[in-house]
Amino acid sequence: NAGVTQTPKFQVLKTGQSMTLQCAQDMNHNSMYWYRQDPGMGLRLIYYSASEGTTDKGEVPNGYNVSRLNKREFSLRLESAAPSQTSVYFCASRGAGSDTEAFFGQGTRLTVV
C-alpha cells in the first residue's frame, strides 16, 4: 500500500553540488510529475512524463533534468544546485484518462546553502 515513494525526505546541498531525487509508484500509473512548492506560489510543475519513454517541460524546468527510468520510476536531477532551488519537491502520479486524481509522495525538503 505504498503509493508514491520519494527519497530522500530531507537534503542540504552546497551551491554547485548535484543530486538526484528519486520517485517510485506502485499503482501502474502511466503519467508522473515533479512539482516544487514555494510559500505563496502553490505547486509549480517542473517536468512531467505522460508515459514511459517520454518527458516534457512544465512551467519551471530550468536547472533540472529528469529521467523516466521505467514505468515505476521518475527521477529529478539538479546538476548544479543554486539557492533559488531551495524548496519542497513533490512527485506525483496519475492513472490513465484525462479526469483521474493525482497521488502525491510525502515530499523532499531541499535546502541549498
Instruction: Write out the three cell numbers for 88.
Output: 519542497
Residue 4 and residue 103 in contact, taking contact as beta carbons nearer than 8 Å:
yes
Min dist. Cβ of residue 80 to another protein (A):
26
Burial class (CB in 10 A: 0-12, 13-18, 19+), 1: exposed
By beta-carbon proximity to another protein, the closer residue of 14 and 42 is 42
By beta-carbon proximity to another protein, the closer residue of 84 and 100 is 100
Residue 55 and residue 61 in contact, taking contact as beta carbons nearer than 8 Å:
no
Residues near another protein, by CB under 8 A? 4, 31, 33, 35, 40-45, 48, 50, 56, 58-59, 90, 92, 94, 97-99, 101-102, 104-107
Min dist. Cβ of residue 75 to another protein (A):
17
